[in-house]
Amino acid sequence: MRNLRDFITIRQAADLIGVSPATLRNWDRSGKLKAVRNPMNRYRLYRPEDIAVFLAGVIRSEAMETRRREKRRHVAAPRHRKRVQP
């Protein structure tokens, strides 16, 4: 394990991401964002570079979703012609 100063606490990671520590615990259990455990007390610790990679992925997926929405908005809906009675 690297030096403990190379890691951030669950509270610090939660503040960086903008979620609660409970959310980070759930993400750790599900594998969405894995934590490293402190060998002495088993507290969850996070590598700053893992947080950066995670946030880059979130930003990338949000940008892709925005592009999809924009494409859908610009696709013209089919126009229905009114029937003219003879």
Mean pLDDT of 57-85: 73
What would the pLDDT profile of 45-68 be if each residue is shown by its tens digit?
999 999 999 999 888 887 777 778
Question: CATH assignment of 4-74, given 3.40.605.10, 3.40.50.1000, 3.40.50.150, 1.10.1660.10?
Answer: 1.10.1660.10
Element housing 37 (H / E): strand 36-37
Residues in Cβ contact with 54 at an 8 Å cutoff, skipping those fewer than 6 apart? 17, 33
pLDDT at 76 over 60: no
Pair type for strands 44-46 and 8-9: antiparallel
- pLDDT score, position 38: 93
Tens-digit pLDDT profile for residues 5-49: 899 999 999 999 999 999 999 999 999 999 999 989 999 999 999
pLDDT at 71 over 80: no
